[in-house]
Each structure stands twice: as C-alpha cells, then as structure tokens.
Amino acid sequence: MLSLKKYLTEGLLQFTILLSLIGVRVDVDTYLTSQLPPLREIILGPSSAYTQTQFHNLRNTLDGYGIHPKSIDLDNYFTARRLLSQVRALDRFQVPTTEVNAWLVHRDPEGSVSGSQPSSGLALESSSGLQDVTGPDNGVRESETEQGFSEDLEDLGAVAPPVSGDLTKEDIDLIDILWRQDIDLGAGREIFDYSHRQKEQDVDKEPQDGVEQEDTWPGEGEEVLARNLLVDGETGESFPAQVPGGENQTALSLELCLRLLESTCPFGENAEFPADISSLTEAVPSESEPPGLQNNLLSPLLTGTESPFDLEQQWQDLMSIMEMQAMEVNTSTNEILYNNPPGDPLSTNYSLAPNTPINQNVSLHQASLGGCSQDFSLFSPEVESLPAASSSTLLPLGPSNSTSLNPTFGPTNLSGLFFPPQLNGTANDTAGPELPDPLGGLLDEAMLDEISLMDLAIEEGFNSVQASQLKEEFDSDSGLSLDSSHSPSSLSSSEGSSSSSSSSSSSSASSSASSSFSEEGAVGYSSDSETLDLEEVEGAVGYQPEYSKFCRMSYQDPSQLSCLPYLEHVGHNHTYNMAPSALDSDKQMSRDEHRARAMKIPFTNDKIINLPVEEFNELLSKYQLSEAQLSLIRDIRRRGKNKMAAQNCRKRKLDTILNLKRDVEDLQRDKARLLREKVEFLRSLRQMKQKVQSLYQEVFGRLRDENGQPYSPSQYALQYAGDGSVLLIPRTLADQQARRQERKPKDRRK
DNA sequence: TCTACATGTCATCTA
DNA sequence: GATAGATGACATGTA
C-alpha cells in the first residue's frame, strides 16, 4: 500500500510537472476520485479508446509473459534485459520490421507458456483471454506498431526467465480483472511490453538516461504509437506523426495513471487498494518519464547526456532530416553508381538489411536515411564511408563531404584530391586552366539522377518493388504502364498470332461451324450447340486472320486459349442471362444467340455476322421473316461486327503499348550502356589527372633557383601554357587565375 | 463489398 | 446514303 501511494504520488507529481510544462493546468486532487474520466477527456479527447494503455496486463507481453509482477526476479531480469538491449542497440539502427510472433498465442495445458520457452512458469487460470488479446486483430496491430520490439525480443531469444510461480488466488483474480478490462477496451499485446519496459526503466531511472532509455519506450498502445511514430506500410520507415512537445507523452502518462486508478480501485473512491497489487503499479511513476518513443530511431545515435526535455529539439532535427531524405536518396544512388563499377559488391548491396550495423558515431542523418533505405534500398553504410576521391563525381548533398568535394573533376578539387596540403594552392592554379573538366557539361545531375535510378532498376537487379517504384517515378509522365504482364512476343507480333491462328483453325476445322469460318479467314460468333452445314460457309467475310483467331477463341473451348498465353487467364463467360439449369452448350451461347433462338431465326449468328452484304441480303430474302426477326438479325450483325472490331481495336492498342514498352526498354538499355561508358571515361580521366599531378610534383620538386635552392610551393606554382610549355609563376598570380577560372562555371550556370 | 480486369455494347466518326 | 471498321465510353460479369 505504501509502495502504491509512493508511486502514485511521484507519478502524479511528474504528470503535473509535465502538464505544466505544456501549459495545461491540472488540479490533481480534483480529478483523483470520481472525476477521472473528465480529466482523461480533457487530455485525450472524448474517447478514451484512443489510448489503451494496459500497462498492467503484463502476462501477455512477449517477454514478460510468465513473469509475475511480484516476482523478485523481475528487477534483475528487466535490468539484465534492458542492459542487453542497450548493448545490442549500440551497433545498429533498429528499423521496425513486420513480424508476428505466433508462439505468443500458444500455451501449454499446464498454464505455462510454451512455444519457444516452455519454462515460463506463470500459472494462470484462463488462457482464452490470451488468445483473444493476441487474436488476429491484435496481431496485425502488433505487426504494425510493435515492430521495433520484435527484433529485440528475437535477439534475446524471447526468453522469459523462470519465475517463482507463487501466484495467489488474489493475484490471479486481479490479473484476470485487469486483463478483461483491457480486452474490453481493445487492448493489444503491445500494451504489455510497455509495462514491462517501464518496469525496466524504473530499475534504472535516471534523468540523464531519459533519452538513452527511450529505445525501450514503445509499446504503450497502438494509439500512442500511431500518434507518435507512424510506420510507413511500404517502407517500414518510422517517422513521427507530430512534433511532440511532451503533450502526448504527458497525456499518455496521465492516462496510464488514471487507468491504474480505475483498475486497481474498482470499488469506488473509498475502496482501499489491494495490497498485493502494489507491485503491479510499480510501473506507474515511470509513465511520466519523458517521452522516448521517437528514440527508437535516435537511441543508438544520441548520447545519453541529453536532457529529456530537449526532445522537442530532437524531433525538429529528426523531422528536418526526414525531409532531406527524399533529396538525398538520389544522391546516394549516384554515389553507388559512380563509385562502383558494374560488378562491384558495393553496387549490388542496395538493400540495407534490418540488422545492418551502423557505427555508433553515425550521424543522425545517416540514421534517418537508414530508415528510408528500406524503401529505396539504396542506402548502405558503406556508401557513406566511401573515399572522398572516389565519390567526387556526384555528392551535391552529402552532409559531410559536400563542403570538401567539388562535384566535378574540375581544377580546384584536383588539388584536394591529389596534392599534398602544401601544394594545394599551386595545384589549383596550375591544373585549373589546362585541365577543365571535359565532361562537366555532360554531368547534368538531374539527368544523371534519372539515368542512375533507371539503370540501377534495370541493370543491377533491383527487386520488382524497387524497380516499379523507380519506373513509376520516371514513367509517370509517359502515361504508359510498363508493368504489363502480357507476353509481348505472343501478342504483339502478327506472326505469332497468325501461326496460332492457323494451327488452331486447322485443328478445329472439322468440328464446328466457326472452324469452317476460320478456314476462310472469317470470324464471328460460334456456337457448339448450333450446327452449321459446311456448304453454307462459303461466303465468309475475310477478316484478318490474326485478329480472327483472337476473337473467335474467346467463344470456344477455353483450353484453346493456351495457344495465346496472354489469354490463359481469360475465361469470362458472358452468357449471364442463362438459367442455372441450362445445358452446357447453352452456357456458351451469347445473348444474341439466345435471342436468335428465342426468335426462331432460321440461320446462325455466324452467318448473320460474317456473310457479305449481298449474300446476307440474299439469305434474308430466302426466308419469310417478321419485322422483329429482321430487326434482331440486323442488331445481331451490327453488334457482332462491332464486337470483333472492338476486339481488334483492343488488340491493336495492346500491341501499341507493348511496342512502346519494348522501345522504352531498348532505350533504357542504351542509357545504361552509355552511362557505363561515361563512368569508364571518368575513371580514365581521373587516372590521367593523377598522372599529371604526379608529374607536376616531380617537375616542381626538381626546379631550382639561381642559388640552387628549390622553389617554395607556397610562393610559386607551375602553369601550363597554351603552347604546351610550362611556366613558373608567382603563387599570387596563380591564385588569381584560379579564382577567375572558378567564376566562369558559376556565371555559366546563372 | 470493393476493385481490377475482360468483354460486350453503344454512339460516333471516318473511309 | 449504306456499309464496314475504328474507337471512346459505359455496362456487366468474373475473380
């Protein structure tokens, strides 16, 4: 009881402090009793369902399962776990991964957790609730919101250490009560991780560790997670939903406290707290700890000395960094492309594995890019550490290198790349005029961004998702979908259609009227149920064979669709006005065929549609037909012809699209090839410049003045003259010429 | 129930 | 003007 009061007091004091910091005045005494809901609504809005923070539902936690809150091993366990997690977190940036741990829901009949750890010894009476809580819905939310935990848990083997199973009946009853409340309120399993993690924080609760400990913060509920850290469904990238000023966390903490009061004092304001639940509430004060959810991202990157109240600034930094990602991903792409020849392992290492280690001293920028790398899969830690000399081509936005590297092989950066420091100035002066970057004009960065991405997508084995993302980005203006699943060879070429047509028609010529038509190159409606004398087909209209077969097959045996692979999935039957009890042959009849049958039209629809006008009129004259019959026949003919026309039209359209797709692919291949050649040229150019600079040093080092003393590199420099001669000029003059040379490209850009 | 896709149909235009 | 074909737009069935 004393412990509970202590935690409540401390916790509420911290809540109050936090609320005061965000400008919310809270009279705790007013709301401690029966007015808890209003306070909660003040803080969280009218619906309490937004923050389901069942911190006390510990037994459903992934790693807390099996540990009773009162267990004396709990502190040691959490401490060890936290420390281990922190140590493990030092060398990597934890990107949330979608993962559902199925073993969570399994429980052996003895009441202990089985699955990966059958030794867990929490004896609980009911297991059904666990399944409810970890049902599909919660499982999904877990995968979405608690991704950051799974890795830790997995690293730890998800081991719940054996605990003393000294649960009393009150313990079990209380847990069940709280648990059911959580279930009623829609609590997810992630809630329970939080309580356990808060317990961890309590063990080692120090203000200066606020930031560092916050990597163990998440889990207080999907709503809180959703408010603080949104996870991109495609990329898995986590980003803050809003800039935290402590408000959300304060509200969360207060909600936790309120829930604690509700849960532990369900009998009214005068009821005493059960003594044996005090341990359950140990986590409460820590709820008021400064927010740390965002430090899932930051924890490996920030030092533990930062004040928890600097989090807003950290958030702002993080947000600004996130905004930079979109720009810098392309840069990373270029780095990869230009710094690694084809086949280079670095070039193929596009995807950052979730466990890819990142140095502890990695910058915040890098960390944020890491999250993004799951999306673009271009970022790699190795890229950031590329030698400056090899990454000089395109690093316009490099966070640390941009200031020291010129994006071209221009004269100024030559000195920085190849010359010793004392010769930098000289190199600038001498190499500049004579070694203008011959490809500088070609290296339009915007163009290369596109080329690089497309090249990577096509040539370097991007996965389909990445490639499609890239294609969408660069093909968005084309209005064409390049992701057609149709077989271009079988569809687009008339030869293929013709061959399939001929083979199919010859095989079916003796079996149906439509086959007879196809022999004549005609198309049209066909019906297996309607026999047609072979001698009546002589007047078939000569349609294009390749289209004819295409059209006719849609009404024939679906097995024949195998002749056209792209039509294998087409099995539509539009005889939808048929009764279910109709014969199989009736099912293959079209509506017009049914109409014709109903109107007792004395000849087939194939003839109606495909006969030439003269023969068609002659046919009509042979029969005494009513106006309704004549009208239907004309409609059938019109619709039938139009249907074939539509099919031909669509096929042509598809052919056009596929041809365009092939053209685009050819052009992309050409682009990639030209790009590779360009890279080779740049590489050879760099080698030549290196040679020039080494020769410069050699020549300059051998020069002697009239006294036999070497010239000082700080006072003199060599300059190549236009006629091929080399002049020794004062350094100041060389500097002026270098500056003049630098201004020219800038003016040109303007 | 919604969506994507294939197909049929109509209206309109052109040759 | 009749006819056939082309094509956009819409409807409908199916997965």
DSSP A380-428: -HHHHT--TGGG-SS-TT-TTTTTT--SS--HHHHHHHHS-GGGHHHHH
pLDDT value, residue A4: 43
**Which is it for strands A229-231 and A716-720: parallel, antiparallel or unpaired?**
unpaired
Q: Is residue A244 part of a domain?
A: no
Q: Is residue A611 part of a domain?
A: yes
* Rounded-to-10 torsion of CA A701, A707, A713, A714: 170
The residue that minimises its CA distance to C1' of B8 is A643
A650 touches strand B (CB under 7 A): yes
Q: Is residue A731 part of a domain?
A: yes
**CA–C1' span, A656 to C7, in Å?**
14
Side chain identity at residue A243, one-letter code: V
Instruction: Tell me the C-alpha distance between A527 and A510, whole Å.
Output: 14
Domain that holds residue A730: 712-745
**CA–C1' span, A470 to B11, in Å?**
40
pLDDT value, residue A675: 97
Band the pLDDT of A723: cuts 50, 70, 90: confident
User: DSSP readout, A18-49?
Assistant: HHHHTT----HHHHSSTTHHHHHHHHH-S-GG
Instruction: Tell me the C-alpha distance between A643 and A651, whole Å.
Output: 12
Instruction: Tell me the C-alpha distance between A119 and A496, whole Å.
Output: 66
Within 10 A of A464 (CB to CB), how many other CB atoms are there? Answer: 10
Of the residues A653, A679, A703, the one at which a domain ends: A653
Mean per-residue pLDDT, A116-132: 33
Bridge partners (DSSP) listed for residue A229 = A240
Bridge partners (DSSP) listed for residue A720 = A726
Mean per-residue pLDDT, A402-420: 33
Q: Which two tokens stand for residue A299?
A: 């924890």
Q: Which two tokens stand for residue A352?
A: 């950052």
Band the pLDDT of A658: cuts 50, 70, 90: confident
A410 touches strand B (CB under 7 A): no
Model pLDDT for residues A582-618, shown as the tens digit of each residue = 344 655 677 788 788 888 888 888 888 888 888 888 8
Q: Is residue A638 part of a domain?
A: yes
The more confidently predicted of residues A546 and A16 is A16
Instruction: Tell me the C-alpha distance between A249 and A246, whole Å.
Output: 5
Helix (H) or strand (E) holding A716: strand A716-720
Q: Which residues have C-beta within 8 Å of that of residue A649, sequence separation ≥ 6?
A: none
**CA–C1' span, A608 to C5, in Å?**
17
Bridge partners (DSSP) listed for residue A357 = A92
pLDDT value, residue A170: 54
Q: Is residue A578 part of a domain?
A: no
Q: Is residue A643 part of a domain?
A: yes
Return the closest-CA partner of residue A674 out of A458, A468, A482, A472: A458
pLDDT value, residue A611: 87
Backbone angles phi, psi at A134, to 5 degrees: -100, 30
Q: How far is CA A743 from the centre of its chain?
A: 43
**CA–C1' span, A475 to B10, in Å?**
34
Return the closest-CA partner of residue A456 out of A678, A161, A673, A672: A672
C-beta separation of A729 from A719 below 8 A = yes
**CA–C1' span, A325 to B5, in Å?**
37
Q: Is residue A528 part of a domain?
A: no
pLDDT value, residue A494: 34
Helix (H) or strand (E) holding A736: helix A731-749
**CA–C1' span, A655 to C5, in Å?**
18
User: With b meaning 16 or more CB within 10 Å and e meaning fewer, what string describes A141-174?
Assistant: bbbbbbbbbbbbbeebebebbbbeeebeeebbeb
A638 touches strand B (CB under 7 A): yes
The mean of the pLDDT values for chain A is 48
Model pLDDT for residues A452-500, shown as the tens digit of each residue = 444 444 443 334 334 444 333 333 333 333 333 333 333 333 333 333 3
**CA–C1' span, A227 to C12, in Å?**
44
A699 touches strand B (CB under 7 A): no
CATH of the domain at A621: 1.10.880.10
Q: What is the pTM of this model?
A: 0.32
SS3 A216: helix
Contacts of residues A196-200 at CB distance under 8 Å and 24 or more positions apart, as own/partner, are A196/A58, A196/A61, A196/A63, A196/A64, A196/A67, A196/A78, A196/A283, A197/A82, A198/A55, A198/A283, A198/A286, A198/A287, A198/A289, A199/A69, A199/A74, A199/A75, A199/A78, A199/A282, A199/A283, A199/A286, A200/A78, A200/A79, A200/A81, A200/A82
pLDDT value, residue A625: 87
**CA–C1' span, A490 to C2, in Å?**
37
A646 touches strand B (CB under 7 A): yes
DSSP conformational letter for A360: T
Mean per-residue pLDDT, A74-80: 43
E-only strand ranges, A93-147: none
The residue that minimises its CA distance to C1' of C5 is A645
User: Per mean pLDDT, which of A168-172, A261-265, A694-698 is the most reliable?
Assistant: A694-698
Of the residues A618, A653, A688, the one at which a domain ends: A653
Mean per-residue pLDDT, A301-311: 38
Chain C, protein-covered positions (CB within 7 A): 3-9, 12-15
pLDDT value, residue A426: 35
Model pLDDT for residues A326-378, shown as the tens digit of each residue = 333 333 333 333 333 333 333 333 333 333 333 333 333 333 333 333 333 33
**CA–C1' span, A368 to B5, in Å?**
40
Name the nt closest to A643 by C-alpha to C1'.
Answer: B8
Q: Which residues have C-beta within 8 Å of that of residue A277, sequence separation ≥ 6?
A: A4, A174, A264
A588 touches strand B (CB under 7 A): no
Q: Which residues have C-beta within 8 Å of that of residue A563, sequence separation ≥ 6?
A: A500, A503, A504, A549, A553
pLDDT value, residue A22: 53
Instruction: Tell me the C-alpha distance between A304 and A316, whole Å.
Output: 18
The residue that minimises its CA distance to C1' of B5 is A570
**CA–C1' span, A570 to B5, in Å?**
9
Using a 7 Å CB cut-off, which residues contact strand C? A 541, 543, 571-574, 576, 612-613, 616, 637, 641-642, 644-646, 648-649, 652-653
Chain B, protein-covered positions (CB within 7 A): 6-12
pLDDT value, residue A685: 97
Percent of chain A with pLDDT over 70: 21
Model pLDDT for residues A142-183, shown as the tens digit of each residue = 333 333 333 333 333 333 333 334 455 555 555 555 554 444
SS3 A720: strand
First-to-last CA distance in chain A?
Answer: 75
**CA–C1' span, A590 to B13, in Å?**
28
pLDDT value, residue A629: 87
Of the residues A653, A678, A701, the one at which a domain ends: A653
Domain count, chain A: 2
C-beta separation of A689 from A410 below 8 A = no
Band the pLDDT of A677: cuts 50, 70, 90: very high
Q: Is residue A612 part of a domain?
A: yes
* Rounded-to-10 torsion of CA A576, A578, A582, A587: -40
pLDDT value, residue A614: 85
Within 10 A of A433 (CB to CB), how many other CB atoms are there? Answer: 17
